Amino acid sequence: MTLTNTFNNAHLQPHHDGSELYVSSDAPKIGSEVTLRVRVPNTYTFDVGLVRYYMDSESTVALLTRESTGEVESWWSAKIPVKNYDVQYRFLFSRSGKYEWLNASGLFAHDVHTNEDFRIIARPRTTTWLKSSVFYQIFPDRFAKGVDRPAPEWALPMQWDALPHGHGPTTGIELFGGDFEGITNHLDHIIDLGANGIYFTPFFPSKSNHRYDATSFDKVDPLLGGDKAFFEFMKAAKKAKIKVLGDITTNHCSNEHPWFLTGQKSKSSKENKFFYWDKKTHFGYATFYAVRQMPKLNFASAELRKRFYQAKNSVIQKWLSPKYGLDGWRIDVGNQTGRYRDADMHDEVMREIREAMNKMKPNTWLVAENADMWPTDLNGTGWDGTMNYNGFMRPLWAWFNHKPNLETGGFHGLPIAIPKTTGEQFVKAMTVFNSSIPWRNLIDSMTLLDSHDTARMRNVVGGDKEKHLAAMGLLLTYPGVPSINAGDEIGLEGAWGEDGRRTMTWDDSHNWDHGFLNSVKELVKLRRTSPALIEGGLRWVDVQDDHLLFLREATEQNLLILVARDKTKVDVDLSKFGYSIIGTHFGPTASGSRLKLKSKNGVAGIWEVA
């Protein structure tokens, strides 16, 4: 049978994850050895402890030996050889009447499948700077306007302080006039917030405000100030030591892109092979969903691969080059790239994009939008991580759901209202996600409360700033790369995706939530400077309907984190874990070996324990 796993008996169960306390290297070399450690409560008894691992897909075992014994727990370890790029393993604890497996999903009293084994990727890390990064997402048309420019014929010009109409034929053409000059002018806001990374949605020329239908990948949209304004921004960003992530559509381009126009005109052209021409489709060619303006790219064409990512002057490599200086790419609809009907080149294209990035600029971030998670994409050879909708944002919305003011048309693609879940359901959802990928890919994935494609978190919690701050506390303490959607830090609202793409009102900040902003600054600073949040693992301590309590433990620091969505009572004996609170970093003041408090609403607390 499966052990009762309410996440509240962690002090009674062995624990292991992929963080530094448990794994000697998350990027070992082939031919080396890696030490695996497991934390075992002294009350948990067994006669034989083993690590089951695989070499060339053949299973073998290593005996666990005791490293040390403390008052409440012991540390056990084993060394295993690294023979393959993908190292899979799980632990077995056995004695008379006991047969229990520990894998990335938990502890089980029955045989388990390798799909949820712990995994180590025996390849060099592609980024070394992500662990202490906090990103800030900017939709270029809505952040700041530096220069007044006449709107093009296709656009509907909007006043800066107006709200997006958001529904109807003008949705994609409402142009507010944000540009790189404006972003550079207000870079101090991002620096003051504490973010050290900026993720831009597309900045290529287009005939829409979102620019996901690029008419060219060769330059910055002149409406954003063109290359000149981009270079000035990049100069300022580099001076401020801010990393910059671009957004690219490897799945499609515009039907007014020269590639498409040439291919459509001439069947004998190289560009004709860049697309899927299909008379059975509505437009005569395959598209992203049913959007005429977004023809789907066909990577069966060697020439397309060369122009998009293989050549030194290709799209992917050019913008990473010293001249342009991007620090990585976010891949739009990454799981759809290279897939159409019976053609599936996805894995090949994904890996080749990563190889191309390594060739031009090592130490860059490659993160993909996968609206529904594809675990096989995160195996150390392609995307470094995903935009963590499935394993974080989506279950977070369901847990924090409180009198939502939304017009989303469903729950993240499902034709249902947002469900209301318990804390245990929330944690189980995250655990299922985490157990399907290597730890390294989890911490390299982007965590977010909302994005340019969704309603705002402030609306999910019905305008309740305390609950919003609790959610922000979880965002900035949970494993992954936190990304704050521009405006979230001041309490910006939005009932659906387009409504959430509101402008920043720089000339009138009376409607800014300044108290909330100051609290977010505190959290960002903690996220960027706390060893436990940079290197720590994840261990659940107390999971109730209305609050979560977990540990982030590292070599240099241990933090205890509370996130409550509503009024709740917390009473936890930390001595069971061998801990006592020695300092308060955020939220209610506490001390000693027992955390006992009442909250009247949502709250986040961060305490140092030793």
Dihedral (CA of 172, 174, 178, 180) sign: positive
Spell out the domains of the chain, with CATH numbers in brackets: 10-121 (2.60.40.10), 134-248+329-532 (3.20.20.80), 538-609 (2.60.40.1180)
pLDDT tens readout for residues 517-528:
999 999 999 999
Rg from Cα positions in the chain: 25
pLDDT tens readout for residues 373-430:
677 888 888 999 999 999 999 999 999 999 999 986 677 778 888 999 999 999 999 9
306 φ, ψ to 5°?
-60, -45
Say if CB 328 and CB 334 are below 8 A apart: no
State the Cα–Cα distance between residues 257 and 416, nearest whole angstrom.
Answer: 37
Cross-strand bridge partners of residue 296:
252
pLDDT tens readout for residues 334-359:
999 999 999 999 999 999 999 999 99
Residue 232, SS3? helix
State the Cα–Cα distance between residues 251 and 414, nearest whole angstrom.
Answer: 23
Helices (H) and strands (E) in the chain, counts: 15, 28
Query: 481-485 and 135-138 as β-strands: parallel, antiparallel, unpaired?
Result: parallel
Say if CB 471 and CB 400 are below 8 A apart: yes
pLDDT tens readout for residues 537-584:
999 999 999 999 999 999 999 999 999 999 999 999 999 999 999 999
Average pLDDT, the chain: 96
And the tokens for 359?
Answer: 């060739």
pLDDT tens readout for residues 456-487:
999 999 999 999 999 999 999 999 999 999 99
Distance of CA 24 to the CA centre of its chain: 24
Residue 281 has pLDDT above 50, yes or no: yes
Q: How much is the pTM?
A: 0.97
Q: Which residue has the tokens 């892109």?
A: 257
Say if CB 57 and CB 83 are below 8 A apart: no
State the Cα–Cα distance between residues 210 and 202, nearest whole angstrom.
Answer: 7
